[in-house]
Amino acid sequence: MAKVEVLCCGQVPFRNNPKTMMTQPSKIPHVLSVAGSDSGAGAGIQADLKACASRHVYCSTVITAVTAQNTVGVQGVHILHEHFVAQQLNSVLSDMHVDVVKTGMLPSLGIVKVLCQNLRKFPVKALVVDPVMISTSGDVLAGSSVLAGFREELLPMADIVTPNLKEASVLLGDVPLKSVSDMRAAAKLIHDLGPRNVLVKGGDLPNSLDAIDVFFNGEEFYELCSSRVNTRNTHGTGCTLASCIAAELAKGSSMLSAVKTAKQFIKAALDYSKDLVIGNGAQGPFDHFLALKNVNQSAYRQNRFNPDTLLLYAVTDSTMNRKWGRSIAEAVKAAVEGGATIVQLREKDIETRDFLDVAKVCLKICRSHRVPLLINDRIDVTLACDADGVHIGQSDMPASLARTLLGPEKIIGVSCKTPEQAEQAWVDGADYIGCGGVYPTNTKANRTIGLDGLKDVCQVSKLPVVAIGGIGLSNARAIMEIGVPNLKGVAVVSALFDRECVLTETKNLLAVIS
């Protein structure tokens, strides 16, 4: 029997490799949207362009139809000839190195067929199919003749298909879907049609206090839940969700991570835009660019989490720095110049104003080296200095609340000793876990878990793991060789900062673990 897991979404992956971005040519992730044009710009091609832009991905377009629509509904549809759609497809796919194709409105069987022909001629990394047949306002956008093309040709090529309840029902021959159990059954039946993954969206599920989507990968079911946002501005949510999934896949995310990131983005955008007034109808658009308006921008913003940045995780200690006569900023500068891939400011005996001033200086240093800076425990300092994220312990606020306060773009790490804690961190929306202490340490008098405990947590955790506690040159290699793929690095305090030369010690440790 397939496993069911209930998740509250809040993860945002982070893919920039701080060691290679400046030295290797950068290929921009590229999504091609094949969809209809929405004159009201709430859905269709226009929503796809905005969604990809908000996720920092290039988006090219192939237009299948031009619609006359607004917040009231669809007043007219002009379907483009399949030969011209084929010409657009060939133009983009033959030249522009597309990573992911996302489909929206495919209004004729001929268009479905020319799309499939071009995808066979120009293979891409992933195909995201949003089976747009009925608009949010209830207007029919694709006739029954398209269904055969979906079932026989397009769905077997799809890496994920994202129907809402009405579309899932149509794909299955008008089967009624009224419960989460019905959604799971529908996901299984649609998966049998050929797509590798299925996301049945439950935004219209009656009598549900939460917005629940069901994700099925052929083996496991996941129920992705988020609180509903009370707003009329929901036009284009389906297009945007599928485009966000496509964007995250183009950036290299796993399928489940891409889906969770997209769902979190939709919730954040709806919440930000809930009082927006555009048009007089019942279905208003929402604002895709909340991050540009709701977040203090800096010259360099890291907005996705790359697990590889956990490789050499430097945790500061003011007592050690005072012992060696250096400032926190000097210690951080030496660590990142020596190769630290991520830095956490853990300063327990410093006034808030002073901590904030130090954090701002350290943030400037880290961003000049493209290294994320996290703040230990202090969400207020994280927000005030616009750090890249926060690391919290089991006695701090839950990661789910931290995610609510920080939003979808910040990194959240959680300290864990047990598989149960690791599982909860994932459910709560953390990006990684810090597991330990592995060995005894001078900085904390905590119970140690050893290599066996570390391995147990890693094997259960669905998040990347960084090991912490008593780690240095003598034992770091043994930790990195325990044989679990999601162990991404080691976090160290004394091994770097209780030494005369932080730069040298960082280089030496990096050489051992690399």
- Predicted local distance difference test score (pLDDT) of residue 304: 57
The pLDDT tens digits for 70-117 are 999 889 999 999 999 999 999 999 999 999 999 999 999 999 999 999
* Contact of 100 with 160, CB cutoff 8 Å: no
Residue with tokens 């325990």: 482
pLDDT at 34 over 70: yes
Q: Which of 238, 284, 469, 472 is catalytic?
A: 238
pLDDT at 69 over 70: yes
* 371 burial type by CB count under 10 A (0-12 exposed, 13-18 middle, 19+ buried): buried
Q: Which of 52, 61, 162, 201 is catalytic?
A: 201
Sign, CA dihedral 329-331-334-336, equals negative
The pLDDT tens digits for 284-337 are 888 888 755 543 333 223 345 889 999 999 999 989 999 999 999 999 999 999
pLDDT band at 426 (very low <50, low <70, confident <90, very high): confident
Q: Which of 162, 237, 309, 341 is catalytic?
A: 237
Catalytic residue list contains 113: no
Catalytic residue list contains 501: no
Q: Could you give the CA distance from residue 226 to residue 106 in angstroms, rounded to a whole number?
A: 29
- Predicted local distance difference test score (pLDDT) of residue 4: 53
Q: How far is CA 471 from the centre of its chain?
A: 30
Helix (H, G, I), strand (E, B) or coil at 47: helix
Helix (H, G, I), strand (E, B) or coil at 173: coil
pLDDT at 419 over 50: yes
Catalytic residue list contains 201: yes
* Contact of 28 with 36, CB cutoff 8 Å: no
**Predicted model pTM:** 0.59
The pLDDT tens digits for 181-225 are 999 999 999 999 999 999 999 888 877 778 889 999 999 999 888
- Predicted local distance difference test score (pLDDT) of residue 209: 76
Catalytic residue list contains 10: no
- Predicted local distance difference test score (pLDDT) of residue 445: 60
Range with top average pLDDT, 73-82, 227-236, 444-453: 73-82
Mean pLDDT on 241-245? 96
pLDDT band at 19 (very low <50, low <70, confident <90, very high): very low
Catalytic residue list contains 385: no
Q: At what angle do helices 450-460 and 419-427 cross, to 10 degrees?
A: 30
Which contiguous run of DSSP H or E holds residue 221? Answer: strand 220-227
pLDDT cut 70: percent of the chain above it:
89
- Predicted local distance difference test score (pLDDT) of residue 443: 63
Mean pLDDT on 50-73? 94
Catalytic residue list contains 239: yes
Q: Which of 36, 110, 236, 389 is catalytic?
A: 236
- Predicted local distance difference test score (pLDDT) of residue 18: 42
Q: Which of 239, 244, 362, 435 is catalytic?
A: 239
Domains and CATH numbers, the chain: 30-295 (3.40.1190.20), 307-513 (3.20.20.70)
Q: Which of 67, 103, 234, 506 is catalytic?
A: 234
